[in-house]
Structure formats: C-alpha cells, structure tokens
Chain A
Amino acid sequence: MLRFLPLVLLLVGCGAQENSLTKSAVEASAPSDTDSVAEVDLTRLVYVDVHPAILIDDDNEFRVLPQTVGPFSPESGLNVGSIQLETPTSIDGFVTGDVVTPQAAGADLPFSYGPIAADIIVIHNTRSVQNYLATTDTDGFFSSLLVADGYDIFVVPQNPMVPVASHREAIDSGGATVDFEIDQGAAIWGRVLYPSLPSSDPFRVHLVDGNGIRSATALTDEDGFYMIRVLPEEGPFTVVCEGRDDGRDPILTSVPVDPNEELTDDSGLDNAFLGAQVDFDYPTYRLAIASGRVKDENDESVGDVEVRFTATRLTGYDSMDAALSITRVTDNAGNFDVSLPAGDYDVEFMPQGAKSPKLSQASVNGNSPLGTINLEPLTAVTGKVFDSSNSKLGSAQVSCAESGFGERVWKTFADDNGNYALDLPTTDIICTITPPDTRTSALTRTEINGANLGNNLDLTTSPGTTARGSVDLAGEPEAFAVVEFRDGLGRLLGSTVTDEEGAFRIQLDLPPVSEDSSTTN
C-alpha cells in the first residue's frame, strides 16, 4: 500500500521551500485528464457514464461502482468499444495537523497538534461520476471506496484555523493510503468594517482557493476581525464576506490574493507571519422598502408566490464586487413588503400555474411601491411528436423547462399516436424530446421563443449519429446497466440500457463539426 505524506510540517526558515518542492514533485507525477480538453469545443465532447444495476453482491460486498469513460470527440459515429468496469478499491489515511491559537504572544504561533476533523473530497474530474466524499473520525482517519484512477484529494478542515490541503494521486487496483499532515500555513486575515460596529452579530467569512475549494467559515470577533489559515501553494484565494446571519447584508467578494506576495522571507519575518490582509468596508446601510401586490388574470389576489430580488447595482457599493439576493413570499392578500439596501434589482415572481413575470432593474430607494403584478396564466399547448422521417413517435417524453427563477419543468409522455398536451408559459423554454427507441431517434432539444408560442407545437426528433459499445465486468457482460452520454458541459445527450450481452447502441444529437474544431480521442 502506498503511504505518502504530501505536506510536511512547515517550520521556520527553510520549511516553505521544502514544502514547495514536495508539492511540485507530486504534481509532476500526477495524471491529468482535464488539461487536454481545455481548448476543445465542449459541446462536441462525449463522456459516457455507466451505472450498473447491481452494486452489491450476495455477500454484501460492493462488486462495482459507477464509472465514467471519455471524453470522446466523434465526427460521425462513435464506437466506444468495450468498457471494462473495475472492481472497487479504496483510499484511506489519517489527517493530522496544527490548530493555531492566534491570540498567544511570541515569535512562533502557538498551536496544538493532533487529529483534524475534516471533510475529504475525492474528485476524478468535475464531469465524472467518480467523485467521492468522506469524513474523518475522531482519530483523523478516513476511508472511501472508489474506482482505480487518477484523483485530486482535498482535505477541508471544519476549523478555519487549519488550512485546506490537497494532493493528486494515481490510485491503482491495490488501493492507496494517503496521510495528510497539515502545518499551520499562513493567515489570511482582516477586519469587517461596518458603520454600526461593534455588532453583536458576527460576520461570516470564507475563502475559495485556486482549485475552487471552499474553506470552513470563520466568524468575526467583537472587533470585527477574522482569520483563516491557508497553505499559500493552494492559492490564489478569493475572500468572501457572506454578511450576517439575517441575510440582509450584500455578499462582498475580494479580488484573488496570494499570501506570498504580501510578506516574504526578505521582510525579515519568519514564515509564521506570511499572509495577506483583506478588509471589507460596508457603506452606511441605506434602507429601502419595496412593496407590491400579485393578482391573477381574474384580478384576484394571489398568495404564496415566491418573489426574488436580485441586486444589479447597490447604492454605495460601486467599487466593490457585491451581490445580494433576497426571497420573500406573498401573504394571503397577495402583498409583499421587503426591507433591503437601496439599489437596482431584478424582481422575479414564481407563481404556481402561471407564467413567471420579471421586473428588470427596478429602482428601489426609500419607499418604493412596485405596483400590481398581474399574472398571465399558462397556455394550453397540444401537438404531435415526429421522428426525422416524419412518422408519429408514441411514448416519447416531452419535457419543457423555463430558464430563470425556479427553472420549472413541465413534462408528459406522448400517446401511441404521438399526441401530447402541456400547459406552458409564454416565455423562452427549451423542450427536450426523449424518444422511446434510442436506436432510431436521438434525444433532441428545441429552443422555443415564448413570444411565438401558440396553442399548437409539433416537435421533431433528430436522427442523430450512432454510438455503440459494450460493458464488461471481470470478463463477463454487464447487463441492464444504465449508460448515459453527456457533453463537456454536462448536458445529457441520451440514455440507454445494456442488453443481456452487455451491448448498447444509441443515437446522439451532436452539433455539426465546424472546420476549425479540435479533436480529442
């Protein structure tokens, strides 16, 4: 079993260099399946996710786990070949490290050493189904089943005074043991300034590192100070002030910061003082109140309608990356009444059984009545589903999704004659047709302009291009496994099931090949 200490204890002086060398060596030997697809048209990439029907055998042991192969970049047909499922293996290890106590005096930061309570995130790549989560126990031990492959392993301590750490590991069928020993790293710290401080309610602050991993949340003290420990090599770091618990403060996001750039060894200070200061300065809260009423087409008040305010510009925050979204529900009389910072807001409404209206960039200052919002009922739509040869397609699923607030979906199945009926909003929607026989028609998406939506909407599937292959486990065909095809953006291209021989065949609706498109296979 491989045993590896990816992070050495970072001590005064040469510790930083030692740590850096260790990490570089890890990265140099690590697998990478994402770099090669960076410049490829993601809509033309095809990933194949295999979901076996039976994961656990008669002895209550895992016989197999879901697995992803690809990406492929087919130009006409796609023969995936034989997908060999792996029997599961495992990763385990211990997480130990330093918990810094920042208030103590002295040149070196005092800390306690021991097991670290942390979440373990194991990621093959973000487009894969081979992603796993684990949590350490009281001894700092973790373990997880997985499919042998290359993985990024992230340790996310539950205490923000312990840095997030990562390691890349190629795990073979024998499994792996990866121990993490996390040093105290450097501090990203600062003060949240607010006109009414001192505040009894602390502000919540977290970081997002260069890998997109979010740290635990730190709370400001009674003077508004916060601190989060980081390993500088995991940067740059974006600092996010979430505001207080009541949800009325805008979320402020810093520019990316690199602790190494703030103080270096040339400063004469030791590594324990490496870090970066990031302050947040909230302007004076300019209270505004937005109110209004929601009515249906019969002029009746409508209660229980979700109303979401999303700031497009906040007064006093012009030089900051500030975001705010507040959701309320109308009362029984259809009224809503919201206190929020002054600014411009997109106001969206999500009623049951009606179109979702939207007020774009409504100005909210002082007392701002938004008036009466009149709901439009859904439109009764009927139509037929056809295949590419213009034959009626019975048992096809028709699923129509609106974009924006709620992302509501309406779906039904066409009858034997291809007829379907749905109540749909007269807004922009995407209708997806899932054909009953994926050997002759492809899952097809059609964008519908809401302004053109009438009472009749016929839909036609694409003939698509053929993808085929088979699935084996230990040399035996794997029957009844669900095989899903997705593009590089994660959109489903089609689903099928392996037959008793483990074989599958499906039509995929892929975009046409452009002359300058790159390929990866």
Chain B
Amino acid sequence: MNIGPEITVPSNFVGDGVVLDLPIVSNPMIVQVQANDPDDAILTFRWTVPRATELPEITDFKTNAGDWVSVLHLPAEFVQTGDTISCTVTDQAQPRRNQVEIIWEAEVL
C-alpha cells in the first residue's frame, strides 16, 4: 500500500487541520516545508497565499538525502496578521489519496 508524505519541517506539524503559528519577522519571510516519501515517489508542493497579487518566489528541490523541500519567499506586502497560508504536499504516485496540508496563521510582529 502506498504511503503518503511524511513532513519533517515544520517540526511541530502534527497532522492535518492543526494551525501553526507563523510570526512574520523579515521581508521577505521565508516559509519552508521539508518532506519525504516512504515509497520514494515524487512530491509536489502547492502554496496558497490569499493576499498575493502575483506569484511569490517558490523553490522546490530534492535534497541529496532524498527529501523534498519547498521554500516560499513571502513578501511582507502579501501578508497581514490573521492571514492563513497553506502548503499542500502531494505524492504524485497517489495524488488524490496521499495529500498533506500544512496551515499557518500569520502574525506580523
């Protein structure tokens, strides 16, 4: 049976539906997800930034150790306190079944 992605970063991610804190301390703010797939499938990342008026810079890559990484460069003008930012990690071998969504609530400090 194909197993879904395992999230390693953010390290305080415990599962779908749990909202994590995202303090905004720099411009751009960097938000990252690191994940691995037990079945060695390709993982893709889909970011949702509600206030973005253009596509923020996103870099996705596979590490030398085989993990998958996605880094969102979030300009300060695209986020306000209370905004919800999310990243959906999808296993391309079973894209409908094996999805994990990470949700943050932003707080501009």
Contact = CB atoms under 8 A, between A and B. Distances in A.
Contacts of B30: 51, 66, 129, 482
B76 interface: yes
Interface residues of A, number: 34
A495 interface: yes
B1 interface: no
B27 A131 contact: yes
A145 B11 contact: no
A65 interface: yes
A499 B65 contact: yes
Nearest to B63: A497
Interface in B4-61: 8-11, 21, 23, 25-28, 30, 32, 34, 42, 44, 55, 59-61
A484 B71 contact: yes
Given A413-B42, A439-B64, A132 B92 contact: no
A397 B42 CA distance: 10
Contacts of B76: 133
A495 B59 contact: yes
Given A51-B32, A480-B34, A482-B71, A436 B62 contact: yes
A437 interface: yes
A434 B61 contact: yes
B77 to A, nearest CB: 9
A415 B26 CA distance: 37
A346 to B, nearest CB: 19
Contacts of B61: 397, 434, 436, 438, 495-496
Given A133-B76, A497-B34, A434 B60 contact: yes
A217 interface: no
Q: Chain A CB within 10 Å — which of B9, B10, B67 has the most?
A: B9
B26 A480 contact: no
A66 B60 CA distance: 18
A482 B76 CA distance: 20
Contact of A53 (B28, B34, B92): B34
A144 B76 CA distance: 14
B34 A492 contact: no
How many B residues touch the partner, as a band?
20 to 34
Nearest to A134: B109
Interface string A125-159: 00001111100000000001100000000000000
Interface string A91-135: 000000000000000000000000000000000000001111100
B69 interface: yes
Contacts of B8: 480
Contacts, number: 83
A56 interface: yes
Contacts of A129: 26, 28, 30
A395 B63 CA distance: 11
A409 interface: yes
Interface string A235-257: 00000000000000000000000
Interface string A50-63: 01011110000010
Q: Chain A CB within 10 Å — which of B21, B30, B44 has the most?
A: B30
B60 A397 contact: yes
Nearest to A497: B63
A130 B26 contact: yes
Contacts of B27: 131-133
Contacts of A53: 9-11, 32, 34
Contacts of A55: 23, 25
B69 A495 contact: yes
B42 A395 contact: yes
Contact of B64 (A51, A145, A413, A438): A438
Interface in A40-88: 51, 53-56, 62, 65-66
20 contacts: A53-B10, A55-B25, A62-B25, A65-B26, A133-B27, A395-B42, A397-B62, A434-B59, A434-B60, A436-B61, A438-B61, A492-B59, A495-B61, A495-B69, A495-B71, A496-B61, A497-B64, A497-B65, A497-B69, A505-B64
Interface of B: 8-11, 21, 23, 25-28, 30, 32, 34, 42, 44, 55, 59-65, 67, 69, 71, 76, 92, 109
Given A53-B32, A129-B28, 13 more contacts: A51-B30, A51-B32, A53-B10, A62-B25, A132-B26, A132-B27, A145-B109, A397-B62, A407-B55, A436-B61, A438-B64, A480-B9, A482-B71
